[in-house]
Structure 1
């Protein structure tokens, strides 16, 4: 009896250890909390089925933080672009505050007689995914991407190195890259022009439209600052760059600077071009 009991204990320990070892070898343990940072970027094939991509990432319980390069063409005529932009800006995943649909991301292409739609998409949870897919279907958009599309993911903390290799097994993935933090930076923008009137009045607020360039498709307006030296004002536009992969265009963005003079005289307004030079205007205040 004692031999049988001893053998039973040995057998139990053997299988218990074997099971434990097997689990240790195959199980990858991470925090279940998804990172709030962009710590994994994946490239998506040009002809990938977007619904399949969404379904796969949802099954993996990844947060889709940002999508770049998902361009579309539509039969919207040039006269309908303003309404289309307004429709897109009703979508919280397109208009986020710093980002929105604009005439620079939605415009008519004379060469193909179609309207181009090229907005960055943010925080694509299931509701936003379904809304976007319905938008594509109802407006009969065609894929207009020119190359690889990019998706930035928040994955479980500590798992980004593992998923960098694992995601390459999916047929729609072209590349993977990991990041330790959100790709976010601020730089002075290059002002192209400003609509400065020749004259104004004391204590009058004069809105001045400014056009400036950013370096790539991740750039957007961040803030305006000014320094004063007598009647000379130096105005600097700071641009925000958010995203780890950016389209290589140089967008022109508009913003408004409100100028007010408390005393009469000639004022010199110097708008920084970001390289040490300026676009300079003079306004007479009486």
Structure 2
């Protein structure tokens, strides 16, 4: 009789261990409570000339889908064999109480150690860039 009780208890403990080890603490779509989406630049403002080693700052305005969207990071993108950057916005996975689209801003910094002509390309649509020509001198 005692052996049956011990086997039953062992079985119950085994089932509880399996069920708790299979539970997930991650209930959000991206694992951190945010959804990430591309956002497109509306304007890019900044210098068109600079010196080697100088940090240049560009102010990028971009549109998010709703008032809860915010800047996450810049990502690499390619259109027609030209490389550039695209804004990635993050949105809370929960319902947003600010449904209207908004224009947000972020700063993007560049610094080069070589003189030359560079093109800063920021995506303004799925196929186009806002291009800023930057001349760097010694």
Question: Normalization by structure 2: what TM-score?
Answer: 0.66
CA-atom RMSD, angstroms?
A: 2.4
Residue 89 of structure 2 corresponds to: 239
Residue 21 of structure 2 corresponds to: none
- The CA deviation at 1:244 is 2.8
Residue 252 of structure 1 corresponds to: 103
Moved over 6 A (4+): none
Rg: which structure is higher? 1
- Between structures 1 and 2, the one with greater strand share: 2
Residues of 1 paired with 2:123 and 2:43: CA distance?
10
Structure 1 spans left out of the alignment, 5+ residues: 1-35, 38-179
| 1:221 pairs with 2:71 | yes
**Kept after mapping to 1: 8 A contact 2:40/2:123:** yes
Alignment coverage as a number of residue pairs: 106
Residues of 2 paired with 1:225 and 1:281: CA distance?
17
Question: Normalization by structure 1: what TM-score?
Answer: 0.34
Residues of 2 paired with 1:237 and 1:227: CA distance?
10
- The CA deviation at 1:257 is 0.6
Residues of 1 paired with 2:85 and 2:114: CA distance?
19
- The CA deviation at 1:254 is 1.0
**Kept after mapping to 2: 8 A contact 1:270/1:279:** yes
**Kept after mapping to 2: 8 A contact 1:218/1:243:** no
Residue 50 of structure 2 corresponds to: 200
Structure with higher RCO (Cα < 8 A, 6+ apart): 2
Q: Deviations over 1:98-141 (max 9, x none)?
A: xxxxxxxxxxxxxxxxxxxxxxxxxxxxxxxxxxxxxxxxxxxx
Residues of 2 paired with 1:186 and 1:192: CA distance?
19
Name which of 71, 95, 118 aligns with 1:267: 118
